[in-house]
Chain A
Amino acid sequence: MERKTEKISVKPPVRSRGGRAGGVLPGMAAVMCIVSLAVLLLAPAFALPKENDQKAVQIVQGYEAKLDFEGLDLTSLFTLIQQKPGEADRVLRVRVYRRDRISSYTLIYLYPDSEKGKGYLRAGDDLFQYFPSTREFVYRNRKEDIGGTDARADLFGKPRTLDFYILSILGSAKVSQWDCDVIRYDAKALDVSFPIQKWYVRRSDGLPVKVENFSVSETLMRTYYYINYAQARPGKFLFTKLLAVNNLEEGQKTLLTNEEIKTDKIPDYVFTKAFLEEQSR
């Protein structure tokens, strides 16, 4: 398993210097205001590739089709083990109910007892976190990490790459013993957690095996290793083992295992807030 801290370049895409702030002339100030407003509105467009690479799109659509369970309901049990140096391992167990047709999932904590009853409900772009102690739903967004681990909330749902990123091919690389295509993701807007990503997609089966997440300044922040997959239905795959490595916090990683995978129909009310409230009683 490879792990590295990679820094490609330092300059952020939008701007870099404030300069001398106290001595701006009035005319210059007006020009600066107009320019900065334009930069603010158009900044993402300046910094990024303009069009998708069609081969990259093909590869991504290929694996997303395999990972997309549209038309199916999916229930599984995830175990997350977070390791931090100098601390005891932290274990979380969550059950996930997923319905990609409506871009929805419900996640409920089963273990430990201190977290039991908490959960998340995703409905489209909205993500709500439920706290049984106060019986309230707090609005989150898809950038949230589950339970403070290195696993993002959008790992549990349907991928929506082309909505948020422009894709380009970087070439090929070897991950473990597998030959992979390397796809670069550049965010269309800076409202995603990791605006630059690199996906290593195994050529043999078209499934991702490694994902590197970079910050705006292209510092490697997290690496996900998709260690194993299971075939839930013919042509449909779900990862059963994933390792999330925090590249900034030395030694911190989270292992996710996915078990008890079922594709039986899930009652509709499971994808409602009422279900989460009921589970915590």
Chain B
Amino acid sequence: MNISLVLKIGFRNIFRQMKRTFSLGVNFTIVSLLLVLIFSFSRGASQNVSLNLAKATSGYLNVAGEYIVQGKSYIGVMEYPKIQRIIRETFGEGANSYPRYSVYTATYNKGISKRIRYYGIVPELEKTLAGQFTFVKGSWEAFAGDPDSIIVSKELADYFELHDVAELTVSTRTRFGAFNTAVFKIAGVYTSSNFFVENLAISHFGRLQALDLASPDTASVLAVFFPDLKNLDKKRDALVEALNLAGYEAKKPKNASDAINAVTAASPSSKSEKVGSPLVIRLTVTTLSEVLGILGNIISVINYVGVFLAAILLLVTAVAIFINLRMSINDRMREIGTMRTIGIGGRGITLLFVFEGLILSALFVALGFVVAFVVIVLLKYGVAIPPKGAFSLLLERGHIVFLPHATDLLFVFLAIGFFAALFSFIPARQAGRIRPVEALTRLE
């Protein structure tokens, strides 16, 4: 049996019945288009959410925890400069770590009050965070230059009617229980397309430390960054080991909520805890994906729903292939009989029809890829969506993020090809078993 001959015949046969070819081919195109869009979207969304979070309030690894002094437990990372040194020793100069301080406090202005989270950073170090803000009033430089200043989102500025107001009064219950207050100057009002910085008030690290009466070597969290996002789990394990060797009680989070609690806990009042040593420092090291927590789960759900829908479409397409091929075989009975008569065996007939299905799927899947790329380009560069609410999670500067990947394209190509081959084989095998006499004498 001459395989190349069978392939040539199969290729030519595709264009003999254009209507049937086209109706089946459209199925392949739509399924491949949808699958490429779903995979590209979920990959893009996942990376976009992770990167946005990393540009905002989370590191690639986060070191958070509690310390126990004189029988009282406080939230925070004590001895953070020493821990920074351990990070440098473990990962080399490629790793950067930034201390951050978080306080959840009541804010007052003109009879309006609200509890908001203040996020304390060292402005000279946090250039990436600075890039997330578009200032409608003031500037990053004004904020960086004044340690008593803050920048607030436009939503907060509108809520507190800060149009002509230069200061905000805040009141917090400190980690020891006493109330403390501060007056912050507003150095800037910003907007951002990054969902994770939408409603923050950004302050100076040292100022929030002072407000919370924390010691100079205490941070709420240490955010650690590497050149890339690879192998974060292994890096986390290495850091946990290094911290335990240095005498700390370091661990991974038990579950997703443990991870989120570790990173987002602002300093509450202390609680009592009896321990053997005068000072115990417990640390939890979380990865970026753990901090994403439920958002990561949502993205996975989007993926699963997309794959489920695609599976349904594939099934529908498979049924269409089967029916289409059965009808085609019925219409080409004389042709089958003639081919059997001149010596093409049953296997050759089967292969012919299977190859027809495969070539059809290959051509129209490729077309689907082209259409998908056009759609992606249009959505990515042409359609701007206002970043409102939770939907802004999926946007990068107002555009949906798609990340088509070669492995996804290969998977789609092979999956559709497999379906085409499988559901072509069943009727094709039946065609291969028809006796020549029967094929030639069957009435049309």
Contacts and interface: CB of A to CB of B under 8 A. Distances in A.
A binds B: yes
B178 A22 contact: no
B171 interface: yes
B171 A190 contact: no
B111 A85 contact: yes
Contacts of B69: 37, 40-41
B79 to A, nearest CB: 5
Given A249-B108, A250-B110, A21 B279 contact: no
A18 B178 contact: no
Given A22-B98, A85-B111, A221-B181, A41 B124 contact: no
Given A12-B210, A17-B210, A221-B171, A248 B108 contact: yes
A17 B177 contact: no
B178 A193 contact: yes
A22 B378 CA distance: 43
A26 B177 contact: no
A12 B179 contact: no
Nearest to A84: B111
A219 interface: yes
A216 B218 contact: no
Interface in A1-31: 10, 12, 14-22, 24, 26, 28-30
B171 A248 contact: yes
A36 interface: yes
B173 interface: yes
B104 interface: no
Interface string B209-225: 11101111111000000
B203 to A, nearest CB: 11
Given A15-B210, A21-B205, A143-B177, A41 B171 contact: no
Contacts of A189: 176
Nearest to A14: B213
A251 B111 contact: yes
Interface string A212-223: 000111010100
A10 B169 CA distance: 12
Contacts, number: 147
Given A19-B216, A24-B84, A249-B111, A12 B180 contact: yes
B122 A193 contact: no
B216 A194 contact: no
A126 to B, nearest CB: 12
Contacts of B218: 36
A102 interface: no
Nearest to B124: A20
Nearest to B147: A17
Contacts of B171: 215, 219, 221, 248
Contacts of B355: none
A32 B181 CA distance: 26
Nearest to A7: B183
Interface in B138-159: 147
Give the residue among A10, A86, A190 with the most B Cβ atoms within 10 A.
A190
B85 A26 contact: yes
A216 B174 CA distance: 9
A18 B207 CA distance: 7
Interface string A185-204: 00101111111000000000
Contacts of A215: 171, 178-181
Contact of B81 (A17, A21, A37, A216): A21
For this complex, into which size category does the number of interface residues on chain A fall? Answer: 35 or more
B251 interface: no
Interface in A74-109: 85-86
Contact of A193 (B82, B120, B173): B173
A141 interface: yes
Give the residue among A16, A17, A21, A43 with the most B Cβ atoms within 10 A.
A21
Given A33-B217, A187-B178, A249 B210 contact: no
B70 interface: yes
Contacts of B216: 15, 17-19, 32, 35-36, 39
Contacts of B3: none
A33 B178 contact: no
A21 B215 CA distance: 13
Contacts of A33: 79, 81-82, 217
Nearest to A219: B181
A217 B206 contact: no
Interface in B93-138: 96-99, 101, 106, 108, 110-111, 113, 120, 122, 124-125
A36 B217 contact: yes
A184 to B, nearest CB: 16
B143 to A, nearest CB: 15
B80 interface: yes
A29 B85 contact: yes
B236 interface: no
A37 B108 contact: no
Contacts of B110: 250
B204 interface: yes
Contacts of B183: 10
B182 interface: yes
A217 B182 contact: yes
23 contacts: A12-B180, A14-B210, A15-B215, A17-B210, A18-B99, A22-B96, A22-B122, A24-B81, A26-B85, A29-B81, A29-B85, A33-B82, A36-B216, A37-B69, A37-B215, A143-B173, A191-B176, A194-B178, A217-B180, A219-B181, A221-B179, A248-B169, A249-B111
Interface of B: 69-70, 78-82, 84-85, 96-99, 101, 106, 108, 110-111, 113, 120, 122, 124-125, 147, 169, 171, 173-174, 176-183, 204-207, 209-211, 213-219, 269-270, 279
Interface of A: 10, 12, 14-22, 24, 26, 28-30, 32-33, 35-37, 39-41, 43, 85-86, 141, 143, 187, 189-195, 215-217, 219, 221, 248-251
Given A33-B79, A248-B181, 11 more contacts: A14-B210, A16-B210, A18-B205, A18-B209, A22-B98, A24-B85, A32-B217, A33-B82, A190-B174, A216-B174, A219-B169
* Top 7 closest pairs, chain A to chain B, by CB: A18-B206, A190-B176, A36-B215, A24-B81, A219-B181, A216-B180, A191-B177
